[in-house]
Structure 1
């Protein structure tokens, strides 16, 4: 028998399942994979890689005669029902074969999505390194980090499930299904490695953005410093000749005012030449 039910409707097929299932669920021991004497119990947080959204718990029960999917959320239940109906194609598929094909279907289009995400991150890196980053760059980087974290958790749990299924402690799974699950496990590991490499790329991107901000701040401080240095001697001259002592000859001189103007211009010009010579401008 095959069925897709909501978590709360688990009692509808209670007569078909081992009573130990309800003990596991009641004790919230619904993590990863459990191979008991007469059945296998798989639990994972389903995540729609292509559409995003939140993760929802899916519990899979498999014995010699039955295959049941229990979903916490209606959205997950609709996805699983659609997948099972499509895989059966009008006729009932063998339970173990259906389970393998269901998990294989979870990965459909995942690599294309990861490559598309990698292209976006690389494009963002180019924009940041060229100094063309906009104000929304931190928000985009944070969104990429959150998405990659969700993907990492998603693939890690599936990788653990396939790894533990390979042991087949209760001998429930056939050899051909074990071989196919092993292949899925290797595929999951490749996806996980891809996600980890993208996480490192986003971390480098974040550091590059922070470096660009530091460079911009340094440029701004350099401008302030140059302006301060230019006006400092002019302030000194203004303060010096603003004392208005009686015996200051420059105050009575016909050429005193033009001389101060000329000295100020020459001083500023000399400082500007010095800054350009040092490539500070």
Structure 2
């Protein structure tokens, strides 16, 4: 698909790059790029293998700026990324995409954007903004979820949250890496080494850099929060285990003297005078009860119960 950048993106059946002075946007499949890349006169021989893309980056060439995108799926951040490539010069930008992602983003731009001062720089800015448009909401949702998990842990109502917290931490790590790559990309665009962009319009890339920097900081903060929640759960688990051990210790301490009495009088020596005494049994029972009561009072005062 081909578009000219006017007050809105206007679709056209064919680009007339040599004659038309308006900047363009082209979206091609990798097969279409191989067939028609000479028509764009960007002076590059870029063979695209979309499956080999692993990061978002930009590279400055003599007559063009090329790069790739690896965009996490916001519905399944740990799942496969959406991958596509691009090449641009002062005349316009070409996207090489087999997934349909770029066409979807451009469709959103067409339906929501109208420019007073149309330019390639403004289009690229809006394109990048569309990629991260939902991220603030996603991060706020994760923040609230972590907050709920923490409250439940402190209230003793949470089961084992380790798996979910680990998944959130993994997603945040992937997003942090994604933002770092977008920062590098936007800084490369802002640098404008080949003078493809009007200097007054590079401010759009600066604005995007600032937004990504804030998202990166928020992501890093949430990841630290998730680590703190993991440590909090472990500490609460240790407290519960300590309480159980304390209770078992108290029970053992109470029954230890009773066990001694039972073992002592269970030896059945022939000449144990207590065995012949009629009051021996009530006395032993009374002594055992007194031991239990005294032990309970002692442990209660020590706040071990």
TM-score by length of structure 1 reads 0.89
Work out which of the residue numbers 164, 170, 178 in structure 1 matches 2:188: 164
Structure 1: tracts of 5 or more residues without a match: none
1:187 maps to 2:211 = yes
Distance 2:278 2:44 in 1: 111
Aligned pair count?
A: 276
Q: Secondary structure at the match of 1:21?
A: coil
Q: Secondary structure at the match of 1:153?
A: helix
Aligned to 2:27: 4
Residue of structure 1 aligned with 2:138, choices 96, 113, 121:
113
Cα pair 1:46 1:55 within 8 Å, conserved: yes
Partners of 2:44 and 2:64 within 8 A in 1: no
CA contact (8 A) 1:49 1:151 kept: no
Question: Who is 1:240 aligned against?
Answer: 264
Could you say what the CA RMSD is over the residues aligned between the two structures, in angstroms?
A: 2.6
Output the CA distance in 1 between the equivalents of 2:261 and 2:208. Answer: 80
Post-superposition shift, 1:110? 1.8
Aligned counterpart in structure 2 of residue 270 of structure 1, from 283, 286, 294? 294
1:228 aligns with 2:252: yes
Distance 1:30 1:221, change over 3 A: closer
Moved more, 257-266 or 46-55: 46-55
Residue 182 of structure 2 is aligned to residue 177 of structure 1: no
Give the structure with the higher percent helix.
Answer: 1
C-alpha spacing 1:258/1:164, structure 2 compared with 1 (3 Å): same
Q: Residue 259 of structure 1 corresponds to which residue in structure 2?
A: 283
Alpha-carbon separation, structure 1, partners of 2:270 and 2:55: 96
1:48-197 aligned at under 5 Å gives the runs 48-49=73-74, 52=77, 53-71=79-97, 74=99, 78-88=100-110, 94-135=119-160, 137-197=161-221
1:210 aligns with 2:234: yes
Question: Is there any run of 5+ residues in structure 2 with no aligned partner, and where?
Answer: 1-23
CA shift, 1:50, in A, is 5.2
Following the alignment from structure 2 to structure 1, what is the Cα–Cα distance between the partners of residues 250 and 101?
Answer: 64
Paired residues of 1:87 and 1:102 also in contact (CA < 8 A): yes
Q: What is the DSSP-based 3-state SS (H/G/I as helix, E as strand, rest coil) of the residue aligned with 2:47? A: helix
* CA separation of 1:80 and 1:222: change in aligned 2, threshold 3 A: same
**CA positional deviation for 1:212:** 0.6
